[in-house]
Amino acid sequence: MGIHRHYEGEVVSQDTLPAFMKEQIEKYTKGGKLTCLGYYRQGKDISFFLPSVFKTELQEDSDTDVIKEEDKDAAILLYGSINRYRERIKTGIVKEKEGSVIATNLDENTNDTLLDHILALQNFYHRNKDLILMIYKEAHRGYNRINWVKTVRHCVPIISKNANRNHIAYMDVCNERSHIHDQEELMVLFFSTLDYIQQEYNISMPRNEYYTLISRYEFEDMVGNQTICPRLKAIRQQFFNDRMQELWKLLYAFHNKLDKENESDVSDADHNTEYLLATDFDRVFEDMIDYLISDIHLANLKRHEDNRIIDHIFLGKSLFGEISQVYYIADSKYYKLENEIDSTSITKQYDYARNIVQMVRDRVNFGKYQNSIGIDVAESYYNRRTHGYNVTPNFFIRPRNESSDSFVFEHEKTECVFQHKGCLFDRSTLFLLHYSINLKYVLQAYVNDDEEERRRIKERIERRVRYDLLSFINDYYLITDNPKINVPDIAYSSPGILFEIEGKLFMALPKSK
């Protein structure tokens, strides 16, 4: 019982693998090592298969597979990210290439895992702290006020005489509230359920601050005897608040699942087994980065005429010119930082940049891509007077491990290829930057699906890439801004002068036409 963890690349014995993995061993392992990531549960044992990037030296030396507390949140986010990728495939947002990478025994139209129910209950608490406090205050308003009518009617007084006067005292009194409030009962069931989850599955859950909980043993009896769902049905009609109805549904769904599992044949080898795994996490990581930085309306520019497909593209501020915009292109690589990106991938990434420049030129010369490339963007790339080409920001992005889930986007290195030395604005001069991003932060942003957070991430990445690329260029090129140059006179005074300045001069778009 509890939560266990295994790491991608970990050597595993076939005897210890679940039955569904043994049946397709090559799908989940390679050379005796785990290659899949995700979630697996059998009964009350939960296992997470985690990315190798999360593995630290301390964890490598550990002789236990019990998950550390600090890794639980990341493990749950990993599950959420695979689940969201599965949803994006079902809705057609993601088009899978070369077969599915999702392996699961879940129904196609539901996310009915025990973990889903647990996360839903956990999320309800975090979203509704004000409701929980309000119900507690409402239920206990006047709790300590004495109801004298009930006290006189039901309690035995003590009467004493003093100076010909009777003194009446009550050892027991009746308060204003004599029964449990229906809403408070639901809250007691809610927090007792959270406590049960923490005890049974070793998952950290919110702590109760207000209510006296049902004892652990009594609650286990209620679960075993399947009495919680009938009790929930009995009080269902008492809730008119939308949020209380939501809580009722969450509690009923969780306990109904437990009841169904308790009714299952425990001798069955697949008893209470559920799994959701990604057999190729590279594609999940690619979709996460694409969701965070790519512009949806530029999807047509990803597929090139040479049949190559770019991973990510978005429109951002040009390195030169105050109003000019250019395309930022990127490739996501699910590699650990110590593993070098292969030369084939680097060559392809330079080719993507060349292709983008050619597509922009085709927009101007032949009217292609009119629905994807605006004429202003096209004019930002190439200046006919100087024969100069703008710089295309181009970068790799890989995962990194951080102890926190904060935004970390680190520049690793910058490289460059060119045909003519010193010709910055020649179309053969290309740059490629390497970055690593906090994987925990990416998982969280992807799962939360917050459009405002997504916008902020893209802006921060754009600013960082632009700054690092300008810094590199300033280290290797002498850039001067001279608005007084009469470009037509220089460019067309003689072929020799044009040859001398080609690739060294670029005229950005003016603020106003």
> 210-250, pLDDT tens digit by residue?
888 999 999 999 999 999 999 999 988 888 789 999 999 99
Which of 105-114, 333-342, 456-465 has the least mean pLDDT?
105-114
Residues 76 and 99 in one domain: yes
Q: Determine how many CB atoms are found less than 10 A away from the CB of residue 54.
A: 19
- pLDDT of the residue at 330: 97
Instruction: Look at residue 259 and tell me whether its pLDDT is greater than 80.
Output: yes
Chain mean position to CA 125: 20
Q: Residue 60's domain spans which residues?
A: 2-109+271-280
Distance from C-alpha of 103 to C-alpha of 276, rounded to nearest angstrom: 6
Residues 259 and 289 in one domain: no
CA triplet 85, 86, 90: central angle to 5 degrees?
Answer: 115
Distance from C-alpha of 419 to C-alpha of 389, rounded to nearest angstrom: 14
Residues 456 and 343 in one domain: yes
271 pLDDT band, cuts 50/70/90, is low
Percent pLDDT > 90 in the chain is 38
What does pLDDT average to over the chain? 84
Higher per-residue confidence, 202 vs 416:
416
Residues 364 and 449 in one domain: yes
The torsion defined by the Cα of 397, 403, 408 and 414, in degrees rounded to 10, comes to -50
Residues 254 and 399 in one domain: no
Instruction: Look at residue 59 and tell me whether its pLDDT is greater than 80.
Output: no
CA triplet 298, 302, 308: central angle to 5 degrees?
Answer: 170
Instruction: Look at residue 488 and tell me whether its pLDDT is greater than 60.
Output: no
Distance from C-alpha of 405 to C-alpha of 388, rounded to nearest angstrom: 43
Residues 467 and 396 in one domain: yes
Instruction: Look at residue 32 and tell me whether its pLDDT is greater than 60.
Output: yes
Domain boundary among 263, 293, 308: 263
Instruction: Look at residue 412 and tell me whether its pLDDT is greater than 90.
Output: yes
Domain boundary among 263, 297, 316: 263
Residues 456 and 478 in one domain: yes
Residues 292 and 343 in one domain: yes
267 pLDDT band, cuts 50/70/90, is very low
Q: Is residue 358 one of the residues assigned to a domain?
A: yes
Domain boundary among 228, 263, 298: 263
Model pLDDT for residues 83-113, shown as the tens digit of each residue: 999 989 888 888 777 678 899 988 776 667 8
Residues 134 and 253 in one domain: yes
Q: How many domains does the chain divide into? A: 3
Chain mean position to CA 342: 27
Q: Is residue 155 one of the residues assigned to a domain?
A: no
Residues 224 and 326 in one domain: no
Q: Please report, for the chain, how many H helices and E strands are present, in that order.
A: 18, 16
Residues 215 and 341 in one domain: no
Q: Is residue 322 one of the residues assigned to a domain?
A: yes
Question: What pTM was estimated for this model as a whole?
Answer: 0.80
